[in-house]
Structure 1
Amino acid sequence: MISIRTRLLVWIGLPFVLLGVAALIVGNLLLSRQINSTFDAMLLNAAERVERRVYSVDGELRINTHYFSISTLGSRGEGKIFYRIRDAQGKMLAGFQGLEGPPTPVEEPVFYDTRYAGNALRAVAITFPVQRSTQRSTIEVIVAESTETRQDLINDFLLTLSGLVAAGGLIAVSIALLAIYQGLAPLKAISRSLRRRSPNDLEPIEAAVPREVSALVASINGLMARMRQSIHNTQQFNADVSHQLRTPVSEIRALAELTGRQCEDAAARRNLQEIERIAEGAGYTVQQLLTLAKTRHELVDTASLAPVDLGEVCRDACTEAIARIYQRGQELEFHDNDSGSRVMADAIMLRWLIQNLIENASQHAGGGQPYRGTIHVAALHRDGKPALRVSDDGVGVSPDELQHLTERFYRASPETPGSGLGLAIVDEVARAHGATLELASPPGKGLAVTVTFPTAPAAG
């Protein structure tokens, strides 16, 4: 798409170019006409001066060659002058015999173009009466001048005019560029303001702009308002769905558990226990869906992130998960290798990330069998940036499955309990914080998930 600056330059520059070309064409016509008219007048004056040099002696015409000369002001000593003087009978009195005469009878001064001795000439032919003894006669005078002088003069004028037009065009384009720059400044200011914002900052644009731009700003603000309302409605819908689903699922679970205690039929009791298990999984999935909805990276306002201690958040998440881990016969080990590392984060979402990583290792590290090993949580530095790593000593994941682990509802071992949303939530939280997520599963070493965060800016 062509930019506004380019379009303005084209629409401003193109008329100037056309006007410049038109000015050169019109200037060439006017200058050629004026210069040719001036040169023709000087050529006629030179021919008329010959009349004063002709006299009669004993009936014979003579020319006063002592004072005879032909020149024009336009020749400047550079052009060539040719002439021919004949009487009415065609007898040559002086000049060049081969000089061609006019194409029409000479009753008035006749101007015409001709060639002689390889020269392009502009000639004038006139006749005037002379007294020849007792008779009156006429003589014909032709004076011709080479045309290169007048053409050189026209070219000089055109060259000067072209320089003036080019200089005027450059000045006009420079002024146009300055005007375009100043005119587009409000749009650039709005663009810079939007680029500096976080991707999720949907606050209205507050800027003093010209009337022509105010409509655009109003449209953008209206779009942002509709997006904020849509996001709010989506979040509210997710919360309502979660609340409305968790309550009946909890009731089903409680009812199945209570009925199972009172039931004496073994088969029915097993069915009730299965219902209780399914209800528990459904409740967990609903909770995970709500967490996923809250952690969608495009809905997180990164402007609200604050510096938090990564090691401290890891320690709190481990403290919250340790009882559940011990009940499953597993161990939880925390290493704070780089105490004091601070990252720009939402502390609650960061704790959700760590908890989901711990829960994922707890449920899936053993593959199809319950895991009985240790889950390692570490806060560390990686390539100069703060990072956290959660790893296990389980069976690991094949390389083909590794790239699918962050997909929603994907589970490497479908027979194990879980919602298939844990690593999807981790991926969303990492993207919301501008962090990179790396999953590795070397043969025989389980799965290791590393989240590397951008360095938090120094205080002050």
Structure 2
Amino acid sequence: MTARTTSLRLRLAGTLGVVFLIGMVALYAAAMSYAKLAADKSYDRLLGGSALSIAETLSILDGKVQVDIPYSSLDMLSAAPDDRVFYRVVGPDRRTVTGYPDLPDVPQRRSVRSDSDTSGQFYDARYRGEDVRFVSLAREIAQPGTTGWVYVQVGQTRRARDALTRDLVFGSLAPILLMTVVALGVVWFGVTLALRPLGRLSGELASRQPEDLDPVVTPVPAEIAPVVDSINGFMSRLHDNIDTLRSFIGDAAHQLRTPLAVIQAQAQLAEDGDQGDMRGSLVAIRRNAAKLTRLVNQMLSDATVQHRSDVRVFAEFDLLATVRQSVREAVPMAEDSDVRFTSPLAQAPMVGDRVMIGEVVKNLIQNALTHGRSEHGEVSLMLVETPDGYLLSVADRGKGIRPDDREQVFERFARRNNDEPGAGLGLAIVRRAVESHRGVITLGDREGGGLLVEIALPRRARRS
């Protein structure tokens, strides 16, 4: 059963939704900053005008600073009826002339001022439990007996400013929020439309018959094309494997049918004949049973190599020990065998599939014993080290193989003539196992007569 995860449509729309949400937060922060700046500029003009109006009433009488707070100076701030207003006038002697004496001082008071500096210094501070916006103006007094600076400080709570800031923010974010919702709807529709080819692809695959392994031809976007190519590649390999399996089953059935029929016929003759005929029938039965056993063993070996060459579970092993063990397992299977294995190596570490390499050695030995027997020769194996890996050679004293026939003998159930023993699987098994290790197998003539099989194997077989 296919493991199901979150819908691709939901994942795409969710990702875009998160992006939109982050954008909304960023826009909210930008809008809040801009709205606060706009509200401060708007009300700072009134606050500065109020302080300037008070500063214009400053005068010196009998050496003392006099100020007449005009009603209009505070009336300017009446546009914010919920706000409270605070003021203070400080004389050259740093004493409060009028107003609230506990107003907070001006932060980082400027040391030099000019008569043209009428804009004042604006700042925020906490006063009586509220956030208050202040402005501070400085006027220089230069009269006989009295010189210095007089400071006018006016403050207003931020209620009206904050209300204006909220109105500006919400007024600007409402269209953005609406556009975001519309954009998410468009994205959802666009994602649904973009994923329609997947639905068509799924429908085509679901409607196919089990034996239909033709390539998928449904048009798909470029991003999905690699998936379709992978599916087509998989179906192509599956088609090849099924054809190979069908061919193997057909050939195997044909190969098995003959020795079984002979065994059955010889058994019938032994049952109906006299004692002399019985002995000949038993010899024939034993000979065909041995042939059938050899065929079954090769078929099992072929199935093992084919499976392991597909999965390719490679690990480090000692090639020298594997060859020796395979020789011990293969030699007792034959009668009157004369097999010699030599190697100058103490060990031969290699990364690959030990079981497949063992099948290679056993099939080469059986092939040499079956086709390369000679009264004056032996089967010799040698393992040597090369710059790129190892070279395993197997030589016999048989008739050898003509150059024109050497490629044919690597095919399954391929024999040069029907009179030869064996099923024609040995070298096909060997070639598949060697090529799965990125090795090379070559057939040649042994000096003095016979067949020479050489297998070059790398020290580290690649999995890909």
TM-score w.r.t. structure 2 length? Answer: 0.49
